[in-house]
Amino acid sequence: MSNEDTILKEYFQDPRIFADAFNFFLAGTGLQVDPGMLRPLDTDQVLLPFGIDTETRLERFRDLLRALVSMTDGERTYLILGIENQAKVHLAMPVRNMLYDAMQYSSQVQAADRAYEAERQTAKQEKRDPAAKLQPGTEFLSGMKKGDRLIPVISLVIYYSPDPWDGPRTLHEMLNWEDGRDRFRSFVPDYALNLIEPAGILPEEFSKLTTPLKQVLEYIKYSNSYEDLLHIVDQDEEFRKLNRQTVRLLNQVAGAHISYTEQEVEPMDMNKALKDMIAIAVKEKDSEIRDLQEQNLQRARKMICDGLTVPQIIDYTGLTEQEIQRLMASEN
């Protein structure tokens, strides 16, 4: 596991951060995920496909998985929530998440089957009738009773880049519909990603986030523009009291390069540190631009001596016609 993966997983071990991500994404549903109602689940998912021997299995490892029991409008809600962290676009993400979800549903079916078998064995030892048992036929074959229902699984992908997600967002986007195959589209079930991408978050929507995840996603969204980044760092008071975990995450996934020590007392005032870091980055960028400009001027001088035309020099160096004319005048 890479250092980046480790830091991201550790960050979302905090149930408040985990809940904040889902409350943001599910804001329109009326569900409020209570961090205290989240329960860790095993992220090692093993699927024993139906109809083959038990020696054949598929195994996948999810980033984070939690069970939720919540009260909504007086009704108890059961959900299984999973987070997949992506620093880069994964071109097969719809298939990958679809497999994770299918394995989770299969695990629920297998768990039900094991529970009925365990009850049957216990009842046999205690010489009583099972409290619940599978009827011969379809129930026994399926490992479930007709009234059994599975718990819904919601998988959420969080993308840590200022650039838009330019990979497939649905299974249908990954399929080849050419040569007449499009007429079968309605018969092929689709699968869509649940995706949080900072580039797609409107400025006013960040207020829905209530933990330092807000500052992480804000920083990433504006990290391509030093002017915008300085503005949000200056305006958001929470940047003055970031914890070490958030700073470590910003350094790892956003290239923040913020200096800190593990012994610093929390929370840390990162406003000045961020501004200093941005100012240094701006200075380095300006220096790179000046160096590139000087290199282009040197190339143009040589091209002038070699007798190249002004349009040719513009094509090779990117200099303007006025800059080239000034160079020609200075050479004379």
Q: For position 182, what pLDDT does the model report? A: 95
Same domain membership, residue 126 and residue 10: yes
Q: For position 62, what pLDDT does the model report? A: 61
- Asked whether the predicted pLDDT for residue 167 surpasses 90, the reply is yes
Q: Where does the pLDDT of residue 15 fall: very low under 50, low under 70, confident under 90, or very high at 90 and above?
A: very high
Euclidean distance between CA atoms 224 and 215, whole angstroms: 15
DSSP class of 153: E
User: Is residue 87 a contact partner of residue 216, using CB atoms and an 8 Å limit?
Assistant: no
- Asked whether the predicted pLDDT for residue 201 surpasses 90, the reply is yes
Range name among 12-21, 73-82, 181-190, 248-257 with the lowest pLDDT average: 73-82
**What's the mean per-residue pLDDT of the chain?**
83
Domain boundary pick from 172, 200, 228: 200
Residue 246 lies in a domain: no
User: Is residue 81 a contact partner of residue 65, using CB atoms and an 8 Å limit?
Assistant: yes
User: Is residue 130 a contact partner of residue 85, using CB atoms and an 8 Å limit?
Assistant: no
What one-letter code names the amino acid at 278? I
pLDDT tens for residues 206-232?
A: 999 999 999 999 999 998 887 788 888
Q: For position 42, what pLDDT does the model report? A: 64
Q: Where does the pLDDT of residue 70 fall: very low under 50, low under 70, confident under 90, or very high at 90 and above?
A: low
| pLDDT more than 70, % of the chain | 81
Q: Where does the pLDDT of residue 263 fall: very low under 50, low under 70, confident under 90, or very high at 90 and above?
A: low
The backbone torsions φ and ψ at residue 71, rounded to the nearest 5 degrees and listed phi first, read -100, 120
Euclidean distance between CA atoms 215 and 232, whole angstroms: 9
Question: Which residue range is the domain that position 69 belongs to?
Answer: 3-200
pTM confidence score? 0.76
Per DSSP (E only), the strands in the chain are 38-40, 44-47, 58-61, 64-72, 75-86, 153-159, 195-196
Distance of CA 312 to the CA centre of its chain: 46
Integer-rounded Cα radius of gyration of the chain: 28
Residue 145 lies in a domain: yes
Q: For position 48, what pLDDT does the model report? A: 45
Domain boundary pick from 156, 182, 200: 200
- Asked whether the predicted pLDDT for residue 35 surpasses 80, the reply is yes
Domain boundary pick from 200, 216, 248: 200
